[in-house]
Structure 1
Amino acid sequence: MVKSKEWNWAEVKENIWNEPSEDVYYYVSRWKKQGFKKFLDLGCGLGRHSVLFAENGFDTYSLDLSDFGLNALNTKAEQLGLEVKTVLGDINNLPYEDNMFDCLLSYHVISHTDTQGIKVIIGEINRVLKNGGEFFITLCSKNSPSYTKKNYPKLDENTIVKTEEPEAGVPHFYSDLNGVKDLLGNFEVIRIRHIEDIYEDTSGWHYFIHGRKR
Structure 2
Amino acid sequence: MPNASKSDERVGWELIWRHGNGHPRYGSYAAPDPAVMEWAATIAAGGFVLDLGCGVGRHVIHLGGCGFRMAGIDISPSGIRLTQEACADSRISFEGQVSDMTTVHWPDRTFDAVLSTSTIHHQKREEIIRTLGQVRRVLKPGGLLLVDFPCTDGLDYQLLRERVAAGQIAEIEPSTFVDQRPDLDEMDDDFLPHHYCDEDDLRDLLRLFQIIGLRKAMRKSHDGAGMRGKWVASVRRPLAD
Normalised by the length of structure 1, the TM-score is 0.89
Q: Which runs of 5+ in 1 are unaligned?
A: none
Amino acid at match of 1:154: E
Name the counterpart of 1:207: 231
* Residue 182 in structure 1 maps to residue 204 in structure 2: yes
The structure with the largest alpha-carbon Rg is 2
Counterpart contact for 1:64–1:70, Cα < 8 Å: yes
* Residue 26 in structure 1 maps to residue 35 in structure 2: no
Count of aligned pairs between the two proteins: 211
Query: Separation in 2 of the partners of 1:177 and 1:137?
Result: 14
Name the counterpart of 2:174: 157
Instruction: Give the drift of 1:125.
Output: 1.2
SS in structure 2 at match of 1:19: coil
Name the counterpart of 2:17: 9
Structure showing greater relative contact order (alpha-carbon pairs closer than 8 Å, 6 or more residues apart): 1
In percent, how many aligned pairs have the same letter? 23
Q: Deviations over 1:168-187 (max 9, x none)?
A: 41111111001111111121
Query: Separation in 2 of the partners of 1:127 and 1:51?
Result: 25
Name the counterpart of 2:3: none
Query: Separation in 2 of the partners of 1:11 and 1:98?
Result: 35
- The RMSD of aligned alpha carbons is 2.2
Amino acid at match of 2:25: I
Instruction: Give the drift of 1:84.
Output: 1.1
Instruction: Give the drift of 1:199.
Output: 4.1
Aligned partner (choices 102, 111, 136) of residue 121 of structure 2: 111
Query: Does the C-alpha gap of structure 1 residues 168 and 175 become closer, same or farther in structure 2, counting only changes over 3 Å?
Result: closer
Name the counterpart of 2:104: 94
SS in structure 1 at match of 2:103: coil
Q: Which runs of 5+ in 2 are unaligned?
A: 1-6, 164-168
Instruction: Give the drift of 1:78.
Output: 1.4
Query: Separation in 1 of the partners of 2:8 and 2:189?
Result: 14
Is the deviation greater in 97-106 or in 7-16?
7-16
Is the deviation greater in 67-76 or in 38-47?
67-76
